[in-house]
Structure 1
């Protein structure tokens, strides 16, 4: 059974209005889809590739990080709206 969603607007990221809209970001470890709003970035999906697991982190409304970890490789996708809507991918093999 899914946990109830928090609908208190103080505790949710506002990405429904304005902004650059929906974007998918491919990485070696998987694919991230985000919605860029005028006041935040919202995670739509984080789909890990075979052998990878996904974790997410969002310490501020304007930046979201998804990390795909696999055996010997890590993909870090960072999506932000500051100063403009963009995403970066950092691939690390070890």
Structure 2
């Protein structure tokens, strides 16, 4: 018996993977590192898309994207959180916020 599994939904696979507007234009693929892990994103003419989010040991990864032009990847550990925000507004850029508690 052969079973076909449907592809994961956007909620399961992360924020806008290979989404509309990410395949053309923009500055392409970039990897951003933080204490909690690294995120690889693609900047396209219509937004920013997640390629991968790889947490370091002791961290978990989560993503949020409320609009095509801004993506946030959060790596959370017991006593530290790293937040990477990639955006195409006003130009392709990324910022990293490190918080220890």
Counterpart CA distance in 2 for 1:2 and 1:92 is 39
Task: Give the TM-score of the pair, scaled to structure 2.
Answer: 0.83
Shift of 1:67: 0.3
1:18-37 to structure 2, matched below 5 A, reads 18-37=25-44
Structure 1 gap ranges (5+): 7-11
Offset of 1:5 from its aligned partner? 4.8
Structure 1 segments of 4+ aligned residues over 3 angstroms from their partners = none
**TM-score, normalization: structure 1?**
0.89
Give the superposition deviation at 1:57: 0.2
Which of 4, 7, 10 aligns to 1:4? It is 7
Provide Cα deviations, 1:10-32, integer angstroms capped at 9, x if missing partner. Answer: xx442101000000000000000
RMSD of aligned Cα (Å): 1.6
Cα gap change, 1:40 to 1:2, in 2 (>3 Å): farther
Structure 1 or 2: more strand by fraction: 1
Could you tell me which residue of structure 2 aligns to residue 9 of structure 1? none
The corresponding residue for 1:83 is: 90
